[in-house]
Amino acid sequence: MAITSANQLELLQTAEAVAREKMIDPDLVIQAMEESLARAAKSRYGSDLDIRVKIDRKTGRATFARIRTVVEDEAVENHHAQITVKQAKSYKSDPQIGDEIIDEVPPVDLGRIAAQSAKQVILQKVREAERDRQYDEFKDRKGSIINGVVKREEYGNIIVDIGRGEGILRRNEKIGRESYRPNDRIRAYIKDVRREARGPQVFLSRTDPQFMAELFKMEVPEIYDGIIEIKAVARDPGSRAKIAVISYDNSIDPVGACVGMRGSRVQAVVNELQGEKIDIIPWNQDQATFLVNALQPAEVSKVVIDEEAGKIEVVVPDEQLSLAIGRRGQNVRLASQLTALDIDIMTEADESARRQAEFAERTNLFMETLDIDEMMAQLLVSEGFTNLEEVAYVDPEELLSIDGFDEDTAAELQARARDHLEEANRKALESARALGLEDSLANFEGLTPQMLEALAKDGIKTLEDFATCADWELAGGWTTVNGQRVKDEGVLEKFDVSLEEAQHLVMTARVMLGWVDPTELETAEEKEETEGEA
């Protein structure tokens, strides 16, 4: 039956029924009907005409109108949809450019093909409205847990009915070898909601660390109320997990609250996660203390933190090594994820051997460069001296405090150390100049001859070359590639140049060359001082 010959109220009733079924605004369905009728009318009267249809929202009567826009005489490109000012005067007393002349045209009866085309337009518009509605509904639920029912499995991915839409649980987001059948109930974490060509996609996950955090929030009222906070989560889905918690109420134990009476709370989470073992760890602001907690159940003897490199060394008793590392490195890997630090684990025996090697290396350095016997070199190392610069420029009183050192001995040691350093500086500068080092960089304050030699070997031979360097190219740094921390070696890193020092040197060079306004350097230094005070 042709749409236009139908009972006019039937249009409104159809729109209401479709809107109720798809849970969208009825007005969107009526707009789709208007567009489909207009397209059918154009196929009847001509595609060059601008025909619009208006359906009365109360009576359902469809009005067909031809629209022509008033344009300048020489601007007419389509006489079917445009009209000159002179021609428009027969319709309006004072037509203006941009006005629209509206003529009602007879309604059209839709043939079979036109009716099919109109139906397709309506369905397309309804689908678009439905997608928009689904996206608006789920976009704000990202990061929460949702319950659904399994509909089907496609290539290992699970399609889940989540009420007013569908979600997809990809095979890599399932725990272990989970398998589901149609109509199974499932609980998952809404990881992402995105608009895509096929409509909004709701991506679900059961392996995301935040899934476990949200489960604890549901099971532990203190977390939901904000009395206890989950500070970090690390998971090896289906096997083991660590969660760090802190309590803002001294009377409440965060670990005990998460475990629950006879383990009831944590057991509910474990059951949902297919038996995943969970270590609940008290969070601590002190990195070393937090790491000791994170490596439980292993015992830790000593922790050494290198904050600049973001690495940490942990010393454990020999018998605790396998426990600290865990099966296939699982325990240390989870602890590393939890603390966001690279962790090196060594036994007390390994650390002792390394200390002895460092002691022997420094002893040999002093024996060779200062021409002293082994006993005297060992005394210097035992007192904390690590390099020639410290011996050469330390206050003589510190050398005199060493047993067996008198004023003559101290003065002779410092003289030998300075002579050796000066000779090393001379050779380094000669080497740098042989590589092409220019005076503009050689005379730059803040760079030692050894630094100049390292720069020249790396192809940095002029002040202009140096000024184009980034701070991390000089001082080194860390970047994350595919989830792994990767070290970027800096040209001056072995000289213990920090990122701040490298930035200051580069900015100073740019100011000297006139590339940067000196006030920018002053502003940067003031900012660093303010941050340091804070």
Q: What is the pLDDT of residues 269-278, one digit of tens each?
A: 998 888 889 9
* Confidence (pLDDT) at 200: 63
How large a percentage of the chain has pLDDT more than 70? Answer: 83
Instruction: Name the band, by pLDDT with cuts 50, 70 and 90, for residue 168.
Output: confident
Instruction: Name the band, by pLDDT with cuts 50, 70 and 90, for residue 402.
Output: confident
User: How, if at all, do strands 145-154 and 157-161 pair?
Assistant: antiparallel
Separation between Cα atoms, residue 149 and residue 343, nearest integer Å: 42
Instruction: Name the band, by pLDDT with cuts 50, 70 and 90, for residue 60.
Output: low
pTM of the entire predicted model: 0.57
* Confidence (pLDDT) at 466: 92
| Span 147-172, average pLDDT | 85
| Span 231-236, average pLDDT | 91
Residue 182 has pLDDT above 70, yes or no: yes
Residue 455 has pLDDT above 90, yes or no: yes
Better pLDDT: 92 or 418: 418
SS3 482: coil
Residue 404 has pLDDT above 70, yes or no: yes
| Span 100-129, average pLDDT | 66
Q: How does the average pLDDT of the chain come out, rounded?
A: 81
Amino acid present at 367: M
Residue 199 has pLDDT above 70, yes or no: no
* Confidence (pLDDT) at 6: 45
Q: Report how far Cα 147 is from the mean position of its chain's Cα atoms.
A: 27
| Span 437-453, average pLDDT | 91
Separation between Cα atoms, residue 6 and residue 3, nearest integer Å: 5
Separation between Cα atoms, residue 240 and residue 70, nearest integer Å: 73
Separation between Cα atoms, residue 81 and residue 100, nearest integer Å: 10
Instruction: Name the band, by pLDDT with cuts 50, 70 and 90, for residue 7.
Output: very low
Residue 484 has pLDDT above 80, yes or no: no
State the DSSP string of 196-214: ETTEEEEEEESSSHHHHHH
| Span 467-495, average pLDDT | 80
* Confidence (pLDDT) at 4: 43
Instruction: Name the band, by pLDDT with cuts 50, 70 and 90, for residue 193.
Output: confident
Please name every residue paired with 157 in a beta bridge, in sequence order, or none if there are none. 154
Residue 243 has pLDDT above 90, yes or no: yes
Q: By the 8 A CB rule, do 266 and 212 touch?
A: no
Q: By the 8 A CB rule, do 144 and 190 touch?
A: yes
Better pLDDT: 305 or 184: 184
| Span 235-256, average pLDDT | 90
The DSSP 8-state label assigned to residue 328 in this structure reads G
* Confidence (pLDDT) at 3: 44
